[in-house]
Amino acid sequence: MSAGQKKRKSPFLGIFLLFLGTLLLLDRMDWIHFDRVIRTYWPLILIGLGLKIILFPKEKQEKKKKPPSQSSADQGNGTGTASFGERKIFGDIRARLITADSANGKYSTLFGDIQIDARNMTLDHDQKTLKIDGLFGNIRLELNESIPCLIRAHTFAGSIHLRGSRGEGISVNQMYKSPDFDTATARLVIVASRLAGDIEVL
């Protein structure tokens, strides 16, 4: 097998994004109802993911060969040396952020909830960006109230609760900005998005 063949990746993600984008476009054009299609045909997503795992097992093996410094436990506690965050296809993510570096990362799931405890997190003099996203499942972030923050949240189907403001329905967007965010030297930007699910930031 040549080196080019070894580096070739599965087209599964690209095909899935094309399929999802087509559904969203047809929904915007009022040709179909996206929520009805998802409720009826969502098992096809599971079938597709199962086929990917069976047909492309090497990708899963490569993920297991990551060095210990990039493990989810180190990332969640801010003790790893690589970029922080965690990604899963199935299953929930639970992380505890303490250091300023651990706030600079991305947490993502296709099917599962994300719960992040950042009540004891501190920031240095820089701006950090925390991204939380995925397809199906809820997001819950508990944040240190003393940290100046800007929160942008979007869910296509679900509800958003950002420190007192609430919205629900289809294609919901919410934003919250701390009063001292613009003048603060140490601050946090949070970007949270879900295709279907609730987003809550406390």
User: What's the mean per-residue pLDDT of the chain?
Assistant: 77
pLDDT in tens, 72-118: 334 444 333 335 788 888 889 999 988 877 778 899 988 889 999 99
Predicted confidence (pLDDT) at residue 123 exceeds the cutoff of 50? yes
Domain boundaries, the chain: 3-63, 67-201
CB distance 189 to 130 below 8 Å: yes
Looking at residues 31-54, what average pLDDT do you find? 72
pLDDT in tens, 144-174: 888 999 999 998 888 999 987 888 888 889 9
Closest CA to 96 of 113, 121, 71: 121
Looking at residues 41-52, what average pLDDT do you find? 72
Predicted confidence (pLDDT) at residue 39 exceeds the cutoff of 80? no
The burial of 115, by beta-carbon neighbours within 10 Å (0-12 exposed, 13-18 middle, 19 or more buried), is given as middle
Which range among 5-9, 17-21, 53-57 shows the weakest confidence by mean pLDDT? 5-9
Instruction: Enter the pTM of the model.
Output: 0.61
Give the model's pLDDT for residue 71.
36
Percent of the chain with pLDDT over 90: 27
Confidence of residue 66 (pLDDT cuts 50, 70, 90): very low
